[in-house]
Amino acid sequence: MSRLAIIETHPVQYHAPVWRRAAEKVPLHVIYGGDFSVRGYRDREFGASFQWETDLLAGYSHQVLQPAAADYESVTAAGLEAALDDMKPAAVLALGYHHPLDRAALKWAVKRKVPLLFRGETSDVPHSKRNWWRALLRDMMLRRLYRRCSVCLYLGERSLQHYQRLGVDDEERLIHSPYCVDTSAFQTGEAAREALRLPTRVKAGVSADAWVVLFSGKLSRRKGVLLLPEALRSLPQKLRDRGHLVCVGSGELQQDLEEACARDLGMRCHFTGFVNQSGLSAWYHAADVLVLPSLEMETWGLVVNDALHHGLPAVVSDAVGCAPDLIASWRTGEVCEAGNAVSLACALERCASWSLEDPAATRRRCRELVGRYSIVQAAAGVCRAWERVKYA
């Protein structure tokens, strides 16, 4: 039987549900380098050890090449060539080109002349920040890679633009397979909001009439979290008086951020520490706006999907990849300039001006837009790509 081989370094919480759904229509087999994400591991940026609460391996055919691998860096390409030779797939779906396992998969497909599908985290946001010769070499390498791909699956608008800029201009070779999140662990609806919003605020010492700005993620430099005190301090007094910053997550800059808030911020703050996926809905419902002020390129920013599913608008920097897809000004959020605290403050103020005027309508618009970025649609893209190549 002809099968699609999907190559991935380890089970990922926002990929596994897509493979599971696609497996209903596509004879696929996922080859993982390691399974440390299932067993539990320490995330350096979070500064915490954790494992995903959902089953990342159920519902689709798979194998693990290196079960002893302790983390991403420990995974190698060992065993992949033999596994693919034994499987004899009709096509290979690769998810990147940085890791040795990814490169080995690409090399195997090209050498065996097996149709190659590519669904990488592609974007040109950092392109202009590279040295000219690095940018040129990268472009030459990727043009060569993409010429060998039968189908390029794009995650969003910036991903599509990237492929088109590098020569993939045939619509038959471009298929949308959007970035998405598994909402099964969440409580996203209005009934959950009604039940969770006030108790969560009370538990955190947040008043019922507070304007809650939520950051959820790793408290790291590249996330731009140290911009928050300065930006919030720049808000109009009326908004500052209602303001309450909530940081869900942990990381290397937590102490620095706590000290900056205590020293400079004329508004209240609350730090939750790391919260597992099943506990996040309470904080999304307790908040009034999500903020993601990343300084460096975020391929997408899945936390924005999470927020919109809960009806929560988002303010993101222009370094966040999902901005063209998920952030519609005066509807689902606002975009600010990366690294600019004044621009961040203006975006927060602008978002508050319309989202607080009709919160119910805001929540409805957020959920409607993010509904187009679902597991069903991501899997459908994989299915369409398979249909294009299975008889090649």
Burial of 333 (0-12, 13-18, 19+ CB in 10 A): buried
Indicate the pTM of the whole model.
Answer: 0.94
* Residues 136-150, mean pLDDT to the nearest whole number: 95
pLDDT for 39: 87
- Answer with the residue of higher pLDDT: 376 or 267: 376
Amino acid at 31: I
Confidence of residue 390 (pLDDT cuts 50, 70, 90): confident
* Structure token pair of residue 37: 């994400």
Query: Among residues of the chain, what percentage have pLDDT more than 70?
Result: 94
CB atoms within 10 A of CB 126: 11
User: For residue 348, which of 184, 171, 214 has the smallest C-alpha distance?
Assistant: 214
Confidence of residue 129 (pLDDT cuts 50, 70, 90): low
Q: What is the 3-state secondary structure (H, E, C) of 224-276?
A: CCCHHHHHHHCCCHHHHHHEEEEEEECCCCHHHHHHHHHHHCCCEEEEEECCC
Q: Could you report the per-residue pLDDT of 274-311, keeping only the tens digit for each?
A: 998 899 999 999 999 999 999 988 989 999 999 999 99
The structural domains of the chain, ordered by start, are 4-180+374-389 (3.40.50.2000), 190-370 (3.40.50.2000)
Mean pLDDT of the chain: 94
- Nearest 10 degrees: CA dihedral of 280, 361, 301, 48? -10
Phi-psi region of 167 (alpha: psi -120 to 50; beta: other; left: phi over 0): left
- Answer with the residue of higher pLDDT: 264 or 89: 89
Q: Could you report the per-residue pLDDT of 341-352, keeping only the tens digit for each?
A: 999 999 999 999
Q: Could you report the per-residue pLDDT of 201-258, keeping only the tens digit for each?
A: 999 999 999 999 999 999 999 999 999 999 999 999 999 999 999 999 999 999 999 9
Q: Could you report the per-residue pLDDT of 23-62, keeping only the tens digit for each?
A: 999 999 999 999 999 987 666 655 566 667 789 999 999 9
Question: What b-and-e string marks burial along 237-251, b requiring 16 or more CB atoms within 10 Å of the CB?
Answer: eebeebbbbbbbbbb
User: For residue 48, which of 249, 301, 271 has the smallest C-alpha distance?
Assistant: 249
Q: Could you report the per-residue pLDDT of 252-272, keeping only the tens digit for each?
A: 999 999 998 888 666 789 999
Query: Among residues of the chain, what percentage have pLDDT more than 90?
Result: 86
Report which secondary-structure segment, H or E, holds 116. strand 116-118
pLDDT for 148: 97
Cα 52 to chain centroid distance, Å, stands at 15
Using only the alpha carbons of the chain, give its radius of gyration.
Answer: 22
CA 377, CA 375: separation in Å to the nearest integer? 5
pLDDT for 62: 99
Cα 200 to chain centroid distance, Å, stands at 25
